[in-house]
């Protein structure tokens, strides 16, 4: 699916309902408790939040909607893809207005406010690891982010920019499970899953969730962790919201990634993807991806 046609931004929007079901409520509740602690400790200034790989701003929306954020927040969304940042700039004002906030353009960002909260939103098209060092942050958020990199090195680089006692929150962190059911060809399906995870490991980490949990235990204080599996299945032969598109994007992503290798004949991959699309069209395909939400904080004295 061509990103020139907004395919990736539509995918990000389509997975909103999938993420909402997946996120671990216990971890999110503990995050709210920690944000309240941080807000008490920092006093008069706003809480500084950096959202890395922020996409179109769905995490900001979710944290605001679920009353995780305090009364005064400086929230920076950073993404290396300009199209994602542009989409966030376009959609967040309408979301804020629909939620009853006053919306004001300020400098190169936005201010949204109601009687209980004011959020100053900044946008940056940048590499997260370069941008993170531009300030000291109270809270670092990275949804579906660490599996794109060497988890240990990425985590260490990001956590260094946290203020003493600051928190990090990495939800929807992939952890090595991809299930598509019913099978097309069990042997081929298994080969494709193994090859796709190997593709992720070429520069990323297909077991980022468990690696984050193990490494963070050694270098920080892990406050909460829980499963956040994506589970998408049909209801009476159809998918809710735009989740049919979400599934098609997942299938095409897998096939596209493996098409770049020499392991599969292109016709075999194309046939497999076409069979998966037919399952989606008939409302038959179920998809599960294993993931973890992990929350922690750095020591109060660094």
Residue 282: HSE in the Cβ half-sphere, 13 Å Cα cutoff = 9
Reported as a pLDDT band with limits 50, 70 and 90, residue 5 is low
In angstroms, rounded to a whole number, what is the distance separating the alpha carbons of residues 243 and 11? Answer: 9
pTM for the structure as a whole: 0.95
Query: What are 172-217's pLDDT values in tens digits?
Result: 999 999 999 999 999 999 999 999 999 999 999 999 999 999 999 9
At 163 the three-state DSSP class reads strand
Query: What are 222-280's pLDDT values in tens digits?
Result: 999 999 999 999 999 999 999 999 999 999 999 999 998 889 999 999 999 999 999 99
In angstroms, rounded to a whole number, what is the distance separating the alpha carbons of residues 246 and 242? Answer: 7
What separation, in Å, do the N-terminal and C-terminal C-alpha atoms of the chain show? 46
In the chain, DSSP assigns E strands to 47-52, 72-79, 102-106, 109-113, 118-125, 137-141, 162-181, 221-227, 230-232, 286-297
3-175+204-229+292-297 in CATH: which number?
A: 3.40.50.150
Q: How do the domains of the chain map onto residue ranges? A: 3-175+204-229+292-297
Q: Indicate if the pLDDT at residue 2 is higher than 80.
A: no
Query: What are 14-34's pLDDT values in tens digits?
Result: 999 999 999 999 999 999 999
């Amino acid at each position: 699916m061509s990103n020139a046609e907004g395919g990736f931004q539509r995918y990000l929007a389509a997975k909103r309902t999938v993420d909402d079901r997946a996120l671990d409520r216990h971890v999110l509740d503990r995050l709210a408790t920690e944000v309240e602690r941080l807000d008490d400790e920092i006093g008069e200034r706003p809480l500084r939040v950096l959202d890395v790989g922020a996409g179109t701003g769905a995490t900001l929306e979710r944290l605001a909607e679920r009353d995780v954020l305090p009364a005064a927040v400086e929230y920076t969304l950073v993404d290396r893809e300009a199209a994602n940042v542009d989409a966030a700039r376009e959609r967040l004002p309408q979301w804020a207005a629909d939620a009853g906030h006053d919306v004001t353009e300020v400098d190169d960002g936005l201010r949204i406010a109601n009687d209980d909260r004011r959020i100053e939103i900044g946008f940056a098209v940048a590499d997260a690891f370069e941008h993170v060092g531009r300030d000291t942050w109270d809270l670092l958020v990275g949804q579906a982010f660490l599996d794109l990199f060497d988890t240990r090195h990425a985590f260490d680089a990001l956590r260094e920019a946290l203020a003493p006692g600051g928190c990090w929150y990495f939800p929807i962190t992939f952890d090595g499970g991809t299930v598509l059911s019913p099978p097309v060809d069990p042997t081929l399906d298994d080969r494709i899953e193994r090859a796709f995870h190997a593709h992720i490991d070429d520069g990323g980490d297909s077991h980022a969730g468990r690696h984050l949990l193990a490494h963070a235990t050694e270098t920080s204080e892990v406050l909460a962790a829980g499963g956040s599996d994506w589970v998408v299945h049909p209801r009476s032969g159809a998918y809710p919201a735009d989740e049919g598109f979400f599934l098609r994007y997942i299938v095409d992503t897998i096939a596209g990634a493996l098409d770049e290798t020499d392991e599969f004949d292109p016709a075999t991959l194309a046939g497999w993807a076409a069979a998966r699309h037919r399952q989606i069209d008939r409302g038959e395909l179920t998809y599960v991806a294993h993931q973890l939400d992990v929350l922690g904080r750095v020591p109060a004295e660094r």
